[in-house]
């Protein structure tokens, strides 16, 4: 059976506590075996020791300095360094007395009981082996998983997995003077259940800070039904907020979480999430939120109190009150090695995901969860066109099949009731063959095949096909040649056959293009010449003993003849494959070093051969193309004609630098030889140190092209983490749109993390919203958080 794991999201209280495993019953069993040892086995080798067989496959082992039988009281007594053990269970004490008739054991003096890594300590312990009930005097229970310490003068074991303490203390802090603790009367604890106490007081050091007549807390390591901690906050848009989740552990393979998000200014947003898993390759998650919003965005003068000013279309207002977000991801293992994946993403309006980015059911938590669990993301929160798809795939050694139904949901068009001109692919199917040798010949071959059914409910006024079948077949033949391992020359030739079946074509008073097939045949040719030159430098260093520098020049010539394609349907780039007569040349530089690995002493004794680690330090790539074709000014705009007359493409360069394990740098840029300027440039770097400090910086730039209304881009982003000590760290994050001089994100925070508690305070300003977040975490109990 496959089990679901706890879903741990950012800002979620982990309501998991280590189980208090029942181990007191081990004492009486050990004493009983000790009596049998006295009667039957009594072997002494400086110390009384033996093994007692029982019905279980593993016997108890008992050792003691002295063993005796008290005929008056009919009990067996072991004294001096008494040790009773069985598998991962062990009891030690100064003295153990066992009544085999009543099956009761009494251990006194430095009593220590351990099961796995959990411990119970007491001055004395009395326990019944059969009922596993007993009492500890002046004892404590330690559960290592969440570091729980439970203390009390008298701890009564009321059952196999339950305890009662009249006057109890609870903490996850080590030491005699804990940083925090909970004290209370009539504490009752059930393993894999809850703990309950009356008149509970929460202490920080020796100062009482909170009193409640009743408290309940989880004592669990398994998923169980119960309330999760709420999120509480206040904002100008939503008013006072209270977000309460309820977790429902249906079974080991299915669970659900229900959400009630109260907002004093907007109403109640209800949510539900269902998760399931039946095998490693079959699992899924379904989420749904609904809000009957008290506010709408209906102010047409641009003052959007309940909308956003950065809409894709500034005239679009959110006038709906019924708001929702349904999302789903599902993976399904099919027979014969096929896999199916389903992604659904339907949102009520273009503002919903902007407004609900944070929180239990917000966009950020959903995106993180889908990336972690399904390795698939979702469209960005401000994207008004959402992808929904069903994918079926199968991989073989040399072939792969990929079939997918894609539906793009235009949220704005649907919400406004406008015609939807989004092109849908229902479905597209790809069957590809990777490059492989053709029999025993010198030739290699590959093939890409695709079938697509295009569908569009409504079209614009530019004579566009609304329904269309397209089949594209593209085989390719290669002849790899080499000259004494100095040069690699690979000529190749491809044939592309594209076939359309036009079912419907919109046009004013035009019936000639209806129900007609079209076809296109194109040849493409390529000549690939490359070589590789390298040099190895032996440094003789103790750590790095060798560098390797590799230079890889490459020249690729591509030719596709010109063909008039104006009568073909036009849905994507495959429908318009233009003429190419191009020479592309590139240069790759690689620098790699070899370092010796340090071996452990035990491994070094086995072999004297050194082991090495290889690390790439530098990769520098340069590429440019030269267009050998002449262009015709007909059917081209002035800007297109000017661009196509430029024989040389922009020079593209990319560098990746990793001089050490604490620094990484990457940058790329395009430089126009005609404008003598950079068209694009992108830069990012990450710096780290041994202490855990980290700095990440990014810069993006793209030139604005007014002739085709292409928007320019110029932005900067930085994130900083400083670990002042092992406990104290500071964070800062900043993002700015340099083109519009707009501050997109400003955040600064501090985190203090002690052994059993933590405190975090963060200020964030994003999209005109100021927010202060604080979180207090207590190990084993979870996090208490709020935002204002």
Residue 365: CB atoms within 10 Å: 19
Q: Which residue has the higher pLDDT, 158 or 665?
A: 665
Nearest alpha-carbon partner for 105 in 26, 196, 51: 26
Q: Which residue has the higher pLDDT, 226 or 303?
A: 226
Could you report the per-residue pLDDT of 694-717, keeping only the tens digit for each?
999 999 998 876 554 556 789 999
The confidence score (pLDDT) of residue 640 equals: 58
CA angle 117, 122, 123 (to 5 degrees): 150
The confidence score (pLDDT) of residue 24 equals: 27
Q: Which residue has the higher pLDDT, 764 or 11?
A: 764
CB 420 within 8 A of CB 413: yes
762, 764, 769, 775: CA torsion to nearest 10: -20
Q: Which residue has the higher pLDDT, 298 or 642?
A: 298
Q: Is pLDDT above 80 for 770? A: no
Q: Which residue has the higher pLDDT, 555 or 223?
A: 555
The confidence score (pLDDT) of residue 495 equals: 97
Give Cα separations from 169 to 187, 370, 538, 784 (angstroms): 9, 41, 65, 21
Of the listed ranges 101-105, 317-321, 681-685, the one predicted with least confidence: 101-105
Of the listed ranges 133-137, 487-491, 763-767, the one predicted with least confidence: 763-767
CB 529 within 8 A of CB 503: no
The confidence score (pLDDT) of residue 499 equals: 95
Q: Is pLDDT above 90 for 252? A: no
DSSP E strands in 479-543: the ranges are: 481-483, 487-505, 516-530, 533-538
DSSP E strands in 334-418: the ranges are: 339-347, 385-395, 399-410
The confidence score (pLDDT) of residue 491 equals: 97
Q: Is pLDDT above 90 for 257? A: yes
Nearest alpha-carbon partner for 669 in 655, 685, 659, 656: 655
The confidence score (pLDDT) of residue 704 equals: 75
**Largest Cα–Cα separation, the chain:** 119
The confidence score (pLDDT) of residue 32 equals: 34
The confidence score (pLDDT) of residue 338 equals: 97
Average the pLDDT over 10-39 and give the result: 33
Give Cα separations from 220 to 139, 161, 168, 781 (angstroms): 21, 12, 19, 11
CA atoms within 13 A on the CB side of 78: 33
Q: Is pLDDT above 70 for 39? A: no
What pairs with residue 68 in β-bridges? Answer: 77
Using a pLDDT cut of 70, give the percent of the chain over it.
Answer: 81
pLDDT band (50, 70, 90) for residue 2: low
Give the Cα separation of 226 and 9 in Å (integer): 17
The confidence score (pLDDT) of residue 416 equals: 83
- φ/ψ (deg, to 5) at 412: -65, -45
Of the listed ranges 97-101, 111-115, 754-758, 767-771, the one predicted with least confidence: 767-771
Q: Where are the alpha helices (DSSP H) in 212-307?
A: none
CA atoms within 13 A on the CB side of 257: 23
The confidence score (pLDDT) of residue 636 equals: 56
Could you report the per-residue pLDDT of 522-557, keeping only the tens digit for each?
999 999 999 999 999 998 888 888 999 999 999 999
Q: What residue has token string 């411990």?
A: 119
């Amino acid at each position: 059976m496959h089990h679901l794991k706890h879903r741990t999201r950012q800002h979620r209280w982990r309501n998991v506590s280590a189980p208090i495993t029942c181990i007191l019953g081990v004492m009486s069993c050990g004493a009983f075996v000790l009596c049998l040892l006295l009667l039957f086995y009594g072997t002494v080798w400086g110390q009384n020791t033996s093994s007692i067989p029982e019905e279980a496959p593993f016997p108890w082992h008992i050792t003691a300095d002295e063993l005796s039988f008290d005929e008056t009281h009919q009990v067996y007594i072991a004294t001096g360094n008494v040790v009773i053990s069985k598998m991962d269970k062990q009891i030690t004490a100064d003295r153990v007395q066992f009544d085999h008739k009543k099956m009761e054991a009494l251990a006194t003096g430095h009593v220590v009981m351990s099961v796995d890594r959990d411990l119970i300590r007491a001055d004395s312990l009395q326990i019944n082996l059969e009922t596993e009930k007993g009492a500890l005097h002046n004892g404590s229970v330690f559960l290592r998983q969440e570091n729980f310490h439970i203390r009390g003068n008298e701890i009564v074991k009321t059952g196999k997995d339950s305890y009662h303490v009249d006057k109890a203390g609870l903490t996850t802090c080590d030491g005699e003077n804990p940083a925090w603790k909970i004290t209370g009367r009539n504490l009752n604890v059930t393993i894999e259940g809850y703990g309950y106490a009356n008149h509970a007081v929460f202490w920080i050091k020796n100062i009482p800070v909170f009193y409640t007549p009743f408290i309940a807390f989880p004592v669990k390591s398994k998923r169980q039904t119960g309330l999760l901690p709420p999120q509480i906050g206040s904002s100008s848009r939503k008013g006072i907020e209270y977000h309460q989740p309820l977790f429902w552990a249906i079974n080991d393979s299915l669970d659900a979480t229900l959400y009630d998000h109260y907002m004093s200014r907007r109403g109640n947003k209800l949510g539900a999430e269902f998760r399931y898993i039946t095998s490693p390759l079959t699992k899924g998650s379904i989420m749904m939120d609904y809000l009957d919003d008290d506010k709408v965005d209906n102010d047409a003068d641009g003052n959007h109190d309940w909308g956003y000013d950065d809409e894709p279309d500034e005239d679009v207002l959110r006038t709906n009150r019924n708001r929702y977000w349904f999302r789903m991801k599902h993976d399904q293992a099919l027979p014969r090695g096929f896999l199916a994946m389903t992604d659904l993403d339907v949102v009520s309006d273009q503002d919903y995901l902007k407004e609900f980015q944070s929180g239990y059911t917000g966009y950020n938590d959903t995106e993180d969860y889908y990336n972690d669990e399904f390795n698939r993301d979702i469209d960005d929160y401000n994207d008004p066109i959402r992808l929904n798809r069903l994918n079926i795939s199968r991989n073989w050694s040399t072939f792969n099949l990929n079939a997918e139904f894609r539906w793009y949901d235009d949220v704005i068009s649907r919400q406004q009731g406008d015609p939807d001109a989004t092109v849908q692919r229902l479905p597209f199917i790809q069957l590809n063959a990777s490059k492989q040798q053709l029999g025993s010949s010198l030739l290699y071959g590959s093939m890409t095949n695709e079938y697509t059914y295009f569908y569009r409910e409504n079209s614009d006024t530019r004579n566009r096909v609304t329904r269309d079948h397209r089949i594209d077949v593209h085989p390719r033949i290669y002849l790899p040649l080499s000259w004494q391992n100095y040069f690699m020359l690979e000529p190749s030739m491809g044939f592309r056959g594209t076939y359309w079946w036009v079912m419907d074509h919109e046009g004013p008073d035009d019936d000639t293009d209806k129900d007609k097939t079209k076809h296109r045949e194109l040849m493409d040719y390529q000549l690939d010449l490359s070589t590789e030159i390298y040099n190895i430098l032996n440094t003789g260093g103790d750590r790095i003993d060798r560098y390797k520098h590799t230079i890889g020049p490459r020249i690729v010539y591509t030719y596709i003849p010109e063909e008039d394609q104006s009568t073909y349907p036009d849905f994507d780039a495959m429908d318009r494959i233009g003429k190419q007569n191009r020479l592309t040349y590139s240069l790759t530089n690689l620098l790699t070093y070899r370092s010796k690995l340090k071996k452990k002493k035990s491994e070094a004794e086995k072999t004297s051969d050194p082991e090495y680690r290889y690390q790439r330090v530098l990769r520098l790539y340069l590429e440019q193309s030269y267009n050998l074709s002449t262009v015709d000014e007909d059917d081209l705009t002035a800007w297109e004609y000017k661009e196509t007359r430029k024989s040389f493409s922009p020079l593209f360069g990319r560098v990746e630098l990793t001089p050490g394990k604490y620094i990484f740098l990457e940058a790329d840029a395009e430089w126009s030889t005609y404008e003598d300027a950079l068209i694009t440039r992108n830069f990012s770097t990450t710096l780290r140190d041994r202490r855990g400090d980290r700095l990440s910086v990014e810069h993006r730039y793209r030139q604005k092209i007014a002739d085709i209304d292409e928007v320019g881009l110029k932005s900067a982003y930085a994130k900083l983490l400083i670990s002042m000590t092992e406990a104290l760290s500071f964070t800062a994050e900043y993002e700015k749109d340099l083109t519009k001089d707009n501050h997109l994100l400003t955040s600064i925070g501090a985190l203090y993390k002690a052994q059993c508690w933590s405190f975090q305070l963060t200020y964030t300003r994003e999209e005109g919203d100021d927010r202060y977040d604080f979180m207090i975490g207590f190990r084993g109990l979870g996090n208490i958080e709020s935002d204002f």
